[in-house]
Amino acid sequence: MAGLPRALAPLRHRDYRLLAASMGLSLLAQGLWTVALVWQVVDLGGGPAALSLATALSAGGMLASTLLGGALADRVPQRRILLGVALLQTAAVGLVAVLSLAGALALGPLAAAALAQGVATGLYYPAYSALVPSVVPAGDLLAANGLEGVVRPALAMAIGPAAGGVLVGAFSPGAALLATALTSAVSAACVAALPTVPVRRDEVGSGLFADVREGVAYMVRTPWLLATLLFASLMVLVFIGPFEVLVPFAVRDRTGGGPTEHAWVLAAFGIGGALGSAVVASLRLPRRYLTVMNLLWGFGCVPMVVFGWTSSLWVMIAAAGVLGAAFESSTVIWGTLLQRRVPPALLGRVSSLDFFVSLAFMPLSMALAGPVSEVVGLTGTFLLTGLVPPLLAIAAILYWRLPADEVAHPLDVPAEEPAGPGTVDEPEELPTAGAGPWPPRA
């Protein structure tokens, strides 16, 4: 594999290939589960209220577990967490699959499985993010995150749901649930083949909640991290509700489209995200990485203005593609930045804070989108959605002096650099529990 292009360079490493396979299978299972859950609820005679309960339990499970999941990822070998997550998903979904195929499933066990899926997702993300730098050289982290950015929308948003729909249509929701459980089982097998990497800290704190407080304290005293998370949280608040709630109405009212046309818009967002991730993965990390990342997120929202004035479906589809490309390419840089600059002993907790902030503001944004649109109209709401984030991005860059920070902490390290925790912030920012060298890999 010596001749692999830059975007595929992480695949030279056996352990990363196993981890990437596990991640891909987990995303495929997520896509299968999304469709299987909906139609299983319908098959059981449930309506919107029943589906809302199941999805709310899943979201609540993620929100409740992600911060503790980050603390666990910094004190327990991440391989064990990922293996436990995959086995939990296999058991929970496998049980409801068997009950469904036997004609004995009720809404209660299905809702419990949705809760288990949410808890598993909340535990998975911090552990996965903390493990990647252990199996990939620092110079290949951008490419690794880019590959994930390509695979995630393809499997979770396209192939997984499509396969789930085929299984439901050809057989039953139980068959889609069984496929979900089997996919999770194969994911667990991939994780089981990984070596156990020691946690990257010399001492363990007094408890999980103390670990969480330590992660929050690090975030507050680290300007580039605090600035980006505050900006990103406000961007999510402004953007996600209009995109999820109001775009379907814009498609219907302005183009005369329906569910199929809305699906094309969402597919364009996913395809754009995959292409944007692939492009970033093939390049080096930008020298002005903080500035580029935040501007991509901020100005990437500008195409939302299009949904407020155009009556052309194809223009909306193009705008969604640009949105996806901007969002995913900046997310690739963000994931790499966390893995390169956050001290290894804190990476799980900081990743969980990032995940938590995104989850926390999504419901609020969705709840506000409708009332705001009734006050200022669809056009006014989309105008705000497209123009406020760029202003927030510029404010964050200037107020926290991010250009000076990225110059002081260059990350354009050659790709041949040995695997390791990468460049981190100054030693004085490291907490006592995280001090000490990271053990070399075999």
pLDDT digits (tens, 9 = 90+) for 102-126: 999 999 999 999 999 999 998 998 8
The residue assigned the tokens 């997702």 is: 121
Residue 130 vs residue 404, higher pLDDT? 404
Q: Do 1-141+155-193 and 205-413+420-432 show the same overall fold?
A: yes
Length of the chain: 442
Mean pLDDT along residues 298-312: 95
Amino acid 203: pLDDT = 59
pTM of the predicted structure, to 2 decimals: 0.75
- Percent of the chain exceeding pLDDT 70 equals 89
pLDDT exceeds 60 at position 4: no
Render pLDDT for 315-348 as a digit per residue (tens, 0 to 9). 999 999 999 999 989 999 998 899 889 988 888 8
Helix (H) or strand (E) holding 93: helix 78-101
pLDDT for 418 equals 40
Contact assessment for residue 340 and residue 143, using Cβ atoms and an 8 Å cutoff: no
Q: Average of pLDDT values for 427-440?
A: 33
Q: Which residue has the higher pLDDT, 414 or 242?
A: 242
Report the C-alpha gap between 364 and 237 in whole angstroms: 7
CA distance 74 to 107: 36
| Greatest pairwise CA separation for the chain in angstroms | 63
Q: What is the pLDDT of residue 200?
A: 64
How many Å apart are CA 19 and CA 78, to the nearest integer? Answer: 11
pLDDT over 80 (residue 1) = no
Ordered alpha helix ranges (H), 158-258: 160-170, 173-192, 208-221, 223-241, 247-255
Contact partners, residue 151, CB within 8 Å, separation at least 6 = 20, 23, 24, 27
With a cut of 60, say whether residue 384 has pLDDT above it: yes
Average pLDDT, stretch 281-295?
A: 91
Question: Selecting from 3.30.360.30, 1.20.1250.20, 3.40.47.10, 3.40.50.300, what CATH number does the domain 205-413+420-432 have?
Answer: 1.20.1250.20
How do the domains of the chain map onto residue ranges? 1-141+155-193, 205-413+420-432
Q: Which CATH entry fits the domain spanning 1-141+155-193: 1.20.120.1810, 2.60.120.200, 1.20.1250.20, 3.40.50.1820?
A: 1.20.1250.20
Cβ 69 vs Cβ 349: under 8 Å: no
Mean pLDDT of 155-183: 89
Q: How far apart are the first and last CA of the chain?
A: 20
Across all residues in the chain, what is the average pLDDT?
85
Q: CA–CA distance from 334 to each of 70, 144, 294 (Å)? A: 17, 12, 9
Cα–Cα distances in angstroms (integers) from residue 78 to residues 115, 351, 441, in the given order: 22, 13, 15
Residues 6+ apart with CB under 8 A from 222: 425, 429
Select the more confidently predicted residue: 425 or 209. Answer: 209
